[in-house]
Chain A
């Protein structure tokens, strides 16, 4: 178990980070390459100003969907913010990074991280419930949607259990490290690619509507 943990926080983690970073860059590069060959309207007359406005418009929960679907929007923001906050600012993570690269930054107090993890799990439960209970969402849901939800929940759940020392700590922290690797590896190849492609998609649509002087949506 210790060997597995060492691997998952050492060489495997380096590999996962590399796949994540290179994969993310490759997704954008491949999009532009394919657009050049088969989707020229995307690049012709691209409007960076409108693209930026469109991205900003949807990073702030004051858009039409926030009004039409306030609960989904609220839980959606909670889900993403709590996840990123825990991933980047959790003390244990920063300690690991400091040990590897001598880099460190501000960290979340443990109670705050605990609270954020709970909020994240509540939001995940909300989204799972929507997929099960709301007919239109249930009809639209595919196995891939459950898979990415599971990939996102796994590190958070194991992280919370480990931090609270519930169950076998060694097992839990190893599972947590493995789940984190899995998540990094999955981002470029699954729907989790929206971490990067959200910005590309919004830029494309924002530019398109900006071209026609319609608005920042």
Chain B
């Protein structure tokens, strides 16, 4: 796999913001963050300490972006493999270093180098094609909504599932798995919103509010993903958007 050094350098320059520079500099390597990490607490290996996740990133910076495959591989193993970006470590750090911000920057470098983990890459490709990360087609989505609404009407005869109802108060979005694999979840959401008399609408476009771009470190796709939901909300003129659970 050839590494796109020029792309890495570009991302590296963009990512070296005020916080990143400060945090990489002042981290005292005291190891108190290890107390905050479930990786380390479950298996106390030194390389599971949150501060360890700074190492590959600092190495990329030290080399001025001249990375090779080996370094990118190490960066992926550390910054994708041993961090869930849960921010618990930040609560244990006396400086309050946002390790998740640094891990996201490291992941952006992996993305630029062409090393996005396959599962995330596939979800992103699905999104580009279908507008949701599981690649569900529009008709499948609408059909599933109809189906679950009918099921719900057996319990709640007046139940509704308005689609693209402009001017509703609340737009409801989903994780595509709610539709594709666990339609029971969709049933539950519709039941709750009908039961409490919420003035809600579903949307035929921009209904997947998950954002894999934030996980992978691909800012362009992250912006596109949130952009789709924003566009739907603006089109329908809703006052509130409910994210996926």
Contacts and interface: CB of A to CB of B under 8 A. Distances in A.
Interface of A: 31-32, 34-35, 38-39, 42, 54, 58, 64-65, 68-69, 72, 76, 130, 134-142, 145, 191, 193-194, 197-198, 200-202, 204-206, 208, 217
B245 to A, nearest CB: 18
Contacts of A137: 29-31
A193 B35 contact: no
A34 B47 contact: no
Given A39-B17, A139-B49, A202-B95, A197 B22 contact: yes
Contact of A38 (B17, B23, B98): B17
Interface stretch (B86-94, B118-126, B156-164, B183-191): B86-94
A201 B47 contact: no
Contacts of B52: 139-140
- The interface residues of chain B, by DSSP majority, are classed as helix
A130 B34 CA distance: 14
Contacts of B21: 34
Which of A68, A139, A141: most chain B CB closer than 10 A? A139
Contacts of A42: 17-19
9 contacts: A31-B18, A35-B18, A39-B20, A68-B92, A136-B40, A145-B28, A191-B26, A194-B95, A201-B95
A48 to B, nearest CB: 16
A198 B26 contact: yes
Contact of B94 (A34, A38, A39, A58): A58
B44 interface: yes
A142 B34 CA distance: 17
B32 A65 contact: yes
Nearest to B50: A140
Contacts of B27: 191
Interface in B65-102: 90-98
Which of B34, B91, B93, B96: most chain A CB closer than 10 A? B96
Contacts of B34: 136
Contacts of B49: 136, 139-140
A64 B91 contact: yes
Nearest to A138: B46
B165 to A, nearest CB: 30
B26 A205 contact: no
A137 B28 CA distance: 10
B97 A38 contact: no
Q: How large is the interface on B (under 10, 10 to 19, 20 to 34, 35 or more residues)?
A: 35 or more
Contacts of B26: 191, 193-194, 197-198, 201
Nearest to B15: A38
B35 to A, nearest CB: 5
A43 to B, nearest CB: 9
Given A64-B92, A191-B25, A35 B19 contact: yes
Given A140-B52, A204-B96, A134 B31 contact: yes
A46 to B, nearest CB: 13
A142 B59 CA distance: 12
A197 B51 contact: no
Contacts of A65: 32, 35, 92-94
Contact of A34 (B18, B30, B44): B18
B58 to A, nearest CB: 9
A140 to B, nearest CB: 4
B14 interface: yes
Nearest to B47: A139
Contact of B51 (A130, A140, A206, A208): A140
Contacts of A136: 31, 34, 40, 44, 46, 49
B16 interface: yes
B25 A197 contact: yes
A135 B31 CA distance: 10
A35 B18 CA distance: 5
Contacts of A204: 19, 96, 98
State the 6 A-B residue pairs at the shortest beta-carbon distance, nearest first.
A205-B96, A39-B17, A139-B46, A35-B18, A38-B17, A34-B18
